[in-house]
Structure 1
Amino acid sequence: MDPLTLLREYTIRNDLHKIVRIGDDYRFGNDYTFPCTIETAYRSKHVQANRYTLETLINFITNHHLKHTEYIQQSRSLRIPAVTLPDRKPLLDYLTGKTASSDSIEFLKFPQSNDTSVPVSVSAGVTGNEENVMSDVRVLENQNPIELIKAAEKPLKDREAILFCKNRDFYSVFTAALRRDEERHRAESLQRKDGLVAKNRIDRGYGGGDEIGYDGGPKAKMHLKGSKIGEGVPIILVPSAFSTLITIYNVKDFLEDGVFIPTDVKLKQMKGSKPDCITVQKKFSRDRVVTAYEVRDKPSALKPEDWDRVVAVFVLGKDWQFKDWPFKDHVETFNRVVGFFLRFEDDSVESAKTVKQWNVKIISISKNKRHQDRAAALEVWEKLEEFMRSRSH
């Protein structure tokens, strides 16, 4: 099966969510597997007549709703070659079934064999079933080469089938891995804080009247990158209500790994008490300098000096979320911090009616297409980093 034809079939059937990337391969359900960088039959008319790779086409069709500038930026962040602007519409029309063909398509042609001899393994031992065997051979001789390749392919197991083992429970392994990952991030955060404390003491001659406190309190004089106003690690606030998509339970998966996991699912995976604070970093970045952020969901527990460290908030869309905040109104609030409202793309307009009156970035994700979460998380990071740069000047 040609990968371009197969991708078109999956697009028309709305089965793109069944295309899963495993390492350097794309798996189409349980049927076919192709290398990510395999060249397809669709040839660009504007980039030295290059053929688009399967990776490029899948990234395009899953993100065609983005503006071209946003799509180019998203493709660059993933280091995937992008579809050119002139190729976008004809390619989209073909993949979605609006057009049946395109002059940009040039399927690879297999050489036709003139050898019609019967294989030795078939002809040498013909006995009572000679007529049936010869009939099968004639069918093979006249069959399309693509069909012969399909007949020889063997479907691979999907990831659920590979992980299935009788009398084996992976839940304990998974929770242990989550726990170790959380401990590692906590240790890294403490090491960074200790390093900043030590450097500040050396710069000041150590032991003077301006000795820095470990709690980032009034004595602290250091300023982290992007935190000119506040002192210490920047803070992101999330709602404590379960009615919102982002909570302190799933914010780490979304911001660090670019995967949205519903809060109720995370609660089943996690053990122990609810964390008061989570540390997150931007993992999927080519930048060497990585800023750590604290994520909290209890504004009432913040000290007055902590509010200068608050740089972002995920909003519920309810006024009572800001009841105990030290700012006089929504205008001042979203001038001091950057706001995000995460919603499902097919939710009613009413759900974002209040938020649209605020200076808040509205970000939509799919309920089922998890491969699109990464682009949404990148939107958050880009807006947050832009805000942090503006505060650092």
Structure 2
Amino acid sequence: MSTPLLQLKDRINKNNKINYKSDNGDYTDDITKAISIELDTLYPRNTPVKLTGYKDDEEYPLDTLIIAISLKHLPFIEYMKQSKHLAVGFISALDRKSVIDFLLSKSDKKRYTTNNQDKEKVKRIKLKEIELDDRLSSLRGHKPALFTNLQQSIAQKLQSYNKPSKPVSKPQLKPKNLSPIIILSSSPTSLLTMYNVKPFLSQATFIPSNIAKDMAKDNQQSVDDLITIYRSKPNEQTSKWYIINSVETLNKFGPDAWQRVVCVVTTGQLWQFKLYKWSNPRDLFRNVKGVYLHYSNESINSNIKDWNVSTFAVDKDKRHTDKSLVSNFWRQLDSWIATNKPFLTV
């Protein structure tokens, strides 16, 4: 049975139509209404596709690859805007062209193999070679040159330079009064997005992202790339937290921004960490708190089993309040910050 990658490449290179299906089983031309994609087989739209033979066999969601091909003629900024409008993840500017070229290739290049007859010919030619003198080799003498006096003189000078001196200790300045940062995944399949994170963390109310997105459209509200949350403390003071979902926004905080990142919420997809300071998830979750949210009636992404992340199960209701879940989230985050980044203002 062929893989989703082979089926996708076959459809692309034969210019065969790729069909979308909505939740009622009807075909649709609008990918935002689709829950599955039909190649030779019917796949969920967010099926991870491993690009076997491309840069460590990276993975991207199926819908991300399809939109990248359909919008390949657009400049990157326009492609990114269109992907966000379609609620589909986008491929970074660094990798976009190479991924598209990989998908459009109809055959892999054959690996070069050395001809054994040619190897033997080269060996015979080398046996008959005569080494010619050049400008440098002709100036070399035949008698050994002794530089004992020069070596001793240099050694004495080096000793005087290498005398131990009192080390000057510079105090390491740690940033003060800095608010912590939480990074969400930009994947459209993420349970926690920029549309629903504020009511979840501020009011302990979970609203599915697609419903929260529709509510924002109805109210003619646009989603920001930076959300600020004010969290009440027992002493009647408040602490400020920043929520983002991209490295581009994080870079606006300055060169030390990663010192303020305390939590990364992941969907288990490796492409999320592509531009992170630590692109390997095992390294990443040794330096930040890892969180994975999933519906209680659905299985956990197998990738996270080897990662140092905390899992939180959410009931799959249209809208519900779960104060214990959110309290547990904050409690774990407070404990991690107290141990690893006590200089942050929380």
User: Which TM-score band (shorter chain)?
Assistant: 0.3 to 0.5
Instruction: Answer 1 or 2: which has greater helix percent.
Output: 1
TM-score by length of 1: 0.39
TM-score by length of 2: 0.44
Instruction: Answer 1 or 2: which has greater strand percent.
Output: 2
